[in-house]
Each structure stands twice: as structure tokens, then as C-alpha cells.
Structure 1
């Protein structure tokens, strides 16, 4: 049986992306970061790894694959969005929001889109 080992993001600056995602998720490098690749793992035990690989392909405006980060409720979601923005993420002007969204679309410093989900939402 297969299992997900890593979510891989293409980035133009591996060390900058590693700094952002390490702070965002509380992850640490599995080994010392290279200029073209690093794997981040949860600092406090098992979990999905996030790998960052050097890429020269452009960021997709509406990516087919992205990360969903879960928040406990609306207050936690708002606090996490604020924290992530303070780390270098930015709000994305997303034209596909439903009327009552449970998610906020952000982009990391590399432009990779990800969502912060209010898991308590209806």
C-alpha cells in the first residue's frame, strides 16, 4: 500500500522557501539545505514532509495541486493568516471564492498558493 511521503513545491530560492515553511509549519530540515533541494519534517514527530525543489517553471495562477493548512476554527484561521502574512505570505485576490468560504487563499514568498481552512465551518 502506498502512502504520501512528501508534498513537493517548486521554488526559485530554496533557502528562502525553507525559512518561510519552517516557520509557518514548525518544521525543520531533515538534512542541511542545498541550493537546489531540501526536505522539511515536523519538528515534533511524524507527519507529512514538505520538500522544496529548485524550479524555473512559472507559478500557476490557479494551481492544480496546493497545500491545505487546517485551523481549528474561524478565530484560529484569522490568527494563522495574520501570522503567515507576517512571515512573508500574501493574500491572493481569488475570484473563485464561494458565497460563504471556509478557506483563505494565500501565496508563500515564492508565489505558491495555499489555503488556510476553518475546519469548524458548517
Structure 2
């Protein structure tokens, strides 16, 4: 027997707005029933679990213990620029001179995530 990951839960201050940001990041839709003011929302990923946003009263106070790593279909650096334009903030540069490494960004509520090299950049 095994367990299947149903969703990745993200506590947040504004579930709908943070889900809209991640919908733009992933290019995937919100659940059709989600609307502004909802305390629980979902981004429906193409395969696997959904991103589940749960509105909580307490603010984020420290570094994430778990985070998402994104592999873009464009170059890593192009994706970093796109995400910054959507409202992400730059946290740390872990890119190396030889092209390896990643960039650490944060979503509008401060949740860190990484942008990796694309598949073509790794080839």
C-alpha cells in the first residue's frame, strides 16, 4: 500500500489572490468554483496534485521548510524575469558562472520557491 499526494497546501493571508498569482505562474486555471473572498482555493495542475491555498490568520514568520521548484519551458533567466513581472520578489541568486544553479524567488506573500534551468539548458 502507498499514499498518493492529493495536494500541496499553502497557508496564506489571501487565498484567492495568491492562487491567482500561482495560476499565472503555472499557466493552469483556478478551480471553476473559486471566487474573490474564498478562504480556500485551488490551482488545478495538469498532472498530479493541486496547489491548495488555505487562508489562515497568522502571518508567515520564517523560512519555508518545504518549497516548490519550477522547471520552465523557456530559459531559467527569462522565467525569472517573467515571474518578477507577475509580482514575485528576488530572494537569492544561486546561479553559477558555468550556467548551473537556480534562482530563489518569493511569491507576493513571501513564500520562497526556486527557478531551475530548463530541460534544454540542462542538455
TM over 0.5, shorter chain: yes
Where do 1:49-60 residues align within 5 Å? Answer: 49-60=50-61
Structure 1: where are the runs of 5+ without partners?
Answer: none
The structure 1 segments of at least 4 consecutive aligned residues displaced by more than 3 Å after TM superposition are 97-101, 119-122
User: Which deviations, in whole Å up to 9, do the C-alpha atoms of 1:77-113 show, x marking residues without a partner?
Assistant: 111111111111010147xx48666111111111111
Query: What secondary structure is seen at the aligned counterpart in 1 of 2:24?
Result: helix
Q: Does 1:41 align with 2:44?
A: yes
Q: Does 1:12 align with 2:10?
A: no
Shift of 1:31: 3.6
C-alpha distance 85-99 of structure 1, shift in aligned 2 (>3 A): closer
Q: Which has the higher strand share?
A: 1
Counterparts of 2:28 and 2:61 in 1: how far apart (Å)?
A: 25
TM-score (norm 1): 0.79
